[in-house]
Structure 1
């Protein structure tokens, strides 16, 4: 089987080592792994075969830099791992294809429709697919009214930016918060806030930002949470692996367990077909207080916990590569009930290692 060169973006993230390992342990072919990141301070740049420091994904120079790297390094497959990167690269798929580089991402119009949380919920509603109650306010007055329409102060309300990476900007608007306890007893970065605090922050924004921010308000879903990794081709799911979050931390799977929930699988199939998704996709669900299962987010990229799928029986990050190469996906047997427990591990670097590291690192 033909040896290939794969480029993984945002390779210095905390979960990047496990993603790199999924590619490194492929036995049927040799894979040269190139990593890129806006920062060279991370473990991933030490684990790849070659590293390039590049502009941030939302920079005007980002796509230009990535194109040059792919052309000069003969990259076969480019895997975007961050939201702003797959959106920028999705616009240029045909350009990269001309130099022999396939990008493992959906076309831009599909990605933005699913990645923008407001557009995602609007599209679900338009297609008649179940979704949680939500509003997209256009002013502070609409924002406050929407909170009360969603049950505040009796029930919490979730606020998220329409576009945002990870859990940035997510808040759970809740009444009766003891601010002293929030300050002294909650961990830094707690998502809880009062309506008054949020309103004050929205009013006291940048003076140059006259436009009300693009945010979604959604009913709070208190039930069990699923993070579902999917390999999909033109709207047809090939492999679906639901993982129940046993220790839910907003935006992260710290402890998760494979749970082949038939209802989750059915809803994932409906969403993939409706959006005509392809490649690696992650869809997140939670149960409402009425025990109804609702999707609340789609990521049309590899997910942070995709390595758990390899441990469960399906190396989805590599299968995404094979899909881009038009290769057959092997049959898989998923180990239902497999549990993932995430932990930190240190990487040590000594001064006499730096010359070797510098030899394989290039800045753009």
Structure 2
């Protein structure tokens, strides 16, 4: 696709046209449904994804497949779709859309198309855990976990021991990215046989002796973040960050997760987590949606695991508790005054699978 030089068509009466980028992302179906549940606007949804069988295509008004081989080409394709469909707001769900859309945001917004993504600097800090923690250290923020950024074999071993191994478990992961599936836990008391037969959710448990031979095989030692292992309760804070107003914040306790595809949890009011999240978002410079992950340390202090500079895959937990953050985010992007949000604290949520069916002679459908 190429950029169009024609005049944009007229706006549909009563509609807000939202281009949702990444409708094949886990959790997309709930977000798409949330956009239709609001009384604030009638959503005409344009769904975009690289996968022609993306699960969210069954829930949109207009579907379009894009390539992701090169960011410039991706932006050009989205631009043409946005222009043709008279899009008001671009709402990225997939991480792969964030940086290209952030860097091209001035072009879109000069044409009246709002792009719901933070600026490139904020994205860079949020995506790099080492840099994020470094910014927190500068502020002396209490949510900073014990950590080391290492890039050699000796630095790695020294950091692991400095954090208390083998008397304590220690974690490590690449600094770039927020996917907890890349997290590894060094556990000196691990039962190797049991670990083989019972996969630990979102982590791989091993020992220091178990990982050093693998590192010895590499020609260049990887850049890693080594942190304390936090064993307390896990929380998410869903944030809609506004530049000239207080953020909308909803805190959630995770009681059970399964590979990020299903979970149970409770929407709980936690003022300490809200304040920490407000400070961290302000420090990074995040705008629009962000998801902050915390775990409590042994003394009960919340420690930051990371910041996702996009809307959560499980944001429907907030929607079910009365905070339709997807719809509110679109309203904010359009410059509308937002209503007061009345969260029903204590709401318990269980999320599980949803099936999408494809037939040779029919559009995708759900039950």
TM-score (norm 1): 0.89
C-alpha separation between the residues in 2 aligned to 1:49 and 1:306? 22
Residue correspondence of structure 1 range 190-269 to structure 2 within 5 A = 190-205=203-218, 210=220, 212-234=221-243, 236-249=245-258, 254-269=263-278
C-alpha separation between the residues in 2 aligned to 1:352 and 1:165? 39
Instruction: State the 1:224 CA deviation.
Output: 0.9
Residue correspondence of structure 1 range 130-145 to structure 2 within 5 A = 130=142, 131-145=144-158
Q: Secondary structure at the match of 1:182?
A: helix
C-alpha separation between the residues in 2 aligned to 1:188 and 1:262? 28
C-alpha separation between the residues in 2 aligned to 1:165 and 1:127? 22
- More deviation in 185-194 or 339-348? 185-194
Instruction: State the 1:124 CA deviation.
Output: 0.7
Aligned with residue 25 of structure 1, among 27, 37, 45: 37
C-alpha separation between the residues in 2 aligned to 1:275 and 1:2? 36
Aligned to 1:11: 23
C-alpha separation between the residues in 2 aligned to 1:37 and 1:195? 40
State yes or no: 1:298 paired with 2:310. no
Q: Secondary structure at the match of 1:222?
A: coil
- More deviation in 178-187 or 12-21? 178-187
Aligned to 2:296: 287
Residue correspondence of structure 1 range 52-131 to structure 2 within 5 A = 52-56=64-68, 59-130=71-142, 131=144
Q: Specify whether residues 162 and 56 from structure 1 end up closer, same or farther in structure 2 by C-alpha distance, changes over 3 A only.
A: farther
**Root-mean-square deviation over aligned CA pairs:** 2.2
Instruction: State the 1:71 CA deviation.
Output: 2.2
Aligned to 1:317: 326
C-alpha separation between the residues in 1 aligned to 2:79 and 2:178? 23
Task: Please say if residues 6 and 32 of structure 1, whose CA atoms lie closer than 8 Å, have aligned partners that are also in contact.
Answer: yes
Q: Specify whether residues 223 and 101 from structure 1 end up closer, same or farther in structure 2 by C-alpha distance, changes over 3 A only.
A: same
Q: Specify whether residues 304 and 75 from structure 1 end up closer, same or farther in structure 2 by C-alpha distance, changes over 3 A only.
A: same
Instruction: State the 1:171 CA deviation.
Output: 1.2
Task: Please say if residues 201 and 258 of structure 2, whose CA atoms lie closer than 8 Å, have aligned partners that are also in contact.
Answer: no
Deviations along 1:78-120, one digit per CA (max 9) or x if unpaired, are 1111223212211111011123211101101112112211111
Q: Specify whether residues 65 and 199 from structure 1 end up closer, same or farther in structure 2 by C-alpha distance, changes over 3 A only.
A: farther
C-alpha separation between the residues in 2 aligned to 1:318 and 1:129? 32
Aligned with residue 361 of structure 2, among 352, 356, 360: 352
Q: Secondary structure at the match of 1:22?
A: helix
Aligned to 2:10: none
- Count of residue pairs the alignment pairs up: 351
Task: Please say if residues 247 and 278 of structure 2, whose CA atoms lie closer than 8 Å, have aligned partners that are also in contact.
Answer: no
For structure 2, which runs of at least 5 residues remain unmatched after alignment? 1-12
Deviations along 1:266-290, one digit per CA (max 9) or x if unpaired, are 2112212222322111111111122
Instruction: State the 1:145 CA deviation.
Output: 1.1
Q: Secondary structure at the match of 2:235?
A: strand
Instruction: State the 1:232 CA deviation.
Output: 1.5
TM-score (norm 2): 0.89
Deviations along 1:230-285, one digit per CA (max 9) or x if unpaired, are 11112853321100011145767711101101211221122122223221111111
C-alpha separation between the residues in 1 aligned to 2:21 and 2:178? 14
Aligned to 1:360: none
